[in-house]
Amino acid sequence: MHPVIIVAVVTGVVLAGVALSRLLRRGPSDSAPDLSAEADVEAAEREALELLAQGDAREARRRLQALLKRDPERADMWKLLARIYLEAGDPDEAIEVYTHALSRIRSDPDLHLARAEAHMVAGQPARAFDDYDMVLDENAERIEAWIGKSQALLAQNRPEAAQALLEDAVEQFGEDPALSRPLAEAYFASGEFEGALECWEAHLQEVEDDPEVLRLMAEAHRHLGNSIAAAECLRRADEAAPENPLLSEDAAHALVEAGQFEEAARAYAEARTAGLESPIALLRHSEALQGTGRPEEAYATLVDVLDLGVEAPGDRSVRATALLRLGLADAALAEVEALAAEGPRHRLAAMLLKLEALHSAGRRKEAAQVWTELDRGRFTAPNVMGRLYWWGMCLGASPHGAMPPWLDEHIEQRPNDRFARLGRAQALRTQGDLEGALRDVGLVLDRNPADVVALHERAAILKDLDRDDDAARDLAEADRLDGLRRAAADEAALRLSQAATSSD
């Protein structure tokens, strides 16, 4: 048979099959009107898509609703209608659309996945979890359902469960690149920063340098006390997205961590002159100013942090830190509670800030409860260990003369850990090694001459050494700095009050 004839016959068979399937689906009606109705539906679909492309979502929505009344089994059109509601900021309406679609199209896994995503947007992770579960009950090979289910667990503050789920997924799918990033997020939320870094490294082997992943890696390296590795990640991120001013700010922060305060202060000042301001950059700028011995400017910069809005969850952490450094513990606690509500990724930071805020507010019993919860978590990240050691001493949860076996090596590897040095200084003082204690506190003050806590610690050691005049000078300097801080705190409280009044 001639090839052209073969093609014609095959095409005719296919078209006949399509027509027959439509006839069987729609019932024993006349085929000509049926084909005409199908053409009308396709035309309405094209019109809706064109309207959407033109930005007329309202009319597109109306056309889609009319289209779905005529052909309610079009899952793609249900999804498009729901997506319009999602993009308009109405996830609840999108969920209603998906639910109605599922009442017409039973057990469609793609619709369940889409509804799960809408539940996540609406802040309903438990319902999203149920949808992902339904998909996996039908088909355990849907890797996106495994990932979505883990995200739902993270959103319910269950990072260990998310981690276990994704580890099961790795056993089933092998080292699938799609699992690397979500598994890293689960490790990070669980405080297992080394595991998170391994997963992010695997992710970066599959894609070009991802600035957001590199920033998260830098954060993990900081938790582990590896400031040099953090700076390298930020350098790579800056190269990957040179147009992003936040990455340049991060590179400037690496200068702060390296003790190059003058260079860092200059970089931040230039950025502010150019109009590039963010809460984290102002916080770091204040640290650089403290390091250069300009405490009044540093406190004023902390106050400026509060003038900027909250655009991301991390801004809550920055505001809480600024408020704590100004001595406004109650206001800091409010920010910490808001930060904790943002999800599991911020859980550890929120708990550490809450511990400090409760202690600063004189609520020692509650602070001790938070410390115990953190201690039971057995976080092995070096920056957490140093903080817990110090706060344990302050709260009487750890003996003052205690020096855990990891402490000396920890400080040798991370000489800028303020908390670990202050804690060891207290332990050395209790043991009678006053010169060793003086050396540790002195190194803290070398990095920040305006550290009031360190000044008081050094004054106590100097008194033990019968150096009363030197102790008096440190106490006088601490009083002067406290006066500057109180003045800045009054200004901050005024601005917060004005902001609250204007929002009302």
Answer whether residue 218 is part of any domain. Answer: no
Instruction: Quote the domain boundaries for residue 96.
Output: 39-121
Low-confidence ranges of the chain (pLDDT < 50): 1-37, 246-247
| CA dihedral for 219, 221, 225, 230, sign (positive or negative) | negative
The Cα 110–Cα 139 span in angstroms is: 11
Answer whether residue 66 is part of any domain. Answer: yes
450 phi and psi angles, rounded to 5 deg: -100, 20
The Cα 371–Cα 389 span in angstroms is: 10
pLDDT digits (tens, 9 = 90+) for 198-230: 999 988 887 777 888 888 898 888 778 777 787
* End-to-end Cα separation, the chain, in angstroms: 83
Answer whether residue 243 is part of any domain. Answer: no
Residue whose C-alpha is closest to residue 282's, from 244, 309, 243 = 309
Same domain, 480 and 405: yes
The Cα 178–Cα 169 span in angstroms is: 11
| CA dihedral for 215, 390, 394, 437, sign (positive or negative) | negative
Q: Taking each helix axis as running N to C, give the angle between helix 109-121 and helix 143-155, from 0 to 180 degrees, rounded to the nearest 10.
A: 20
Q: What is the pLDDT of residue 396?
A: 83
Q: What is the pLDDT of residue 241?
A: 66
Per-residue DSSP letter, 344 = G
Out of 331, 354, 377, a domain closes at 377
| CATH number of the domain residue 110 falls in | 1.25.40.10
Same domain, 48 and 61: yes
Q: What is the pLDDT of residue 51?
A: 66
Same domain, 336 and 351: yes
- CB count, 10 Å around CB of 188? 26
Answer whether residue 177 is part of any domain. Answer: no
Check: CB of residue 209 under 8 Å from CB of residue 239: yes
Same domain, 367 and 469: no
Answer whether residue 270 is part of any domain. Answer: no
Tokens standing for residue 332: 């800091």
The Cα 489–Cα 484 span in angstroms is: 9
The alpha carbons of the chain give a radius of gyration, in whole angstroms, of: 30
Alpha-carbon distance values, 54 to 29, 48, 374, 460 (Å): 37, 10, 53, 71
Answer whether residue 67 is part of any domain. Answer: yes
Tokens standing for residue 378: 């057995």
* pTM beyond cutoff 0.85: no
Same domain, 323 and 389: no
Check: CB of residue 151 under 8 Å from CB of residue 182: yes
Overall domain count for the chain: 3
Answer whether residue 313 is part of any domain. Answer: yes
| CA dihedral for 288, 294, 300, 302, sign (positive or negative) | positive
Answer whether residue 293 is part of any domain. Answer: no
Out of 121, 142, 169, a domain closes at 121
Residue whose C-alpha is closest to residue 250's, from 290, 218, 289 = 218
Same domain, 426 and 440: yes
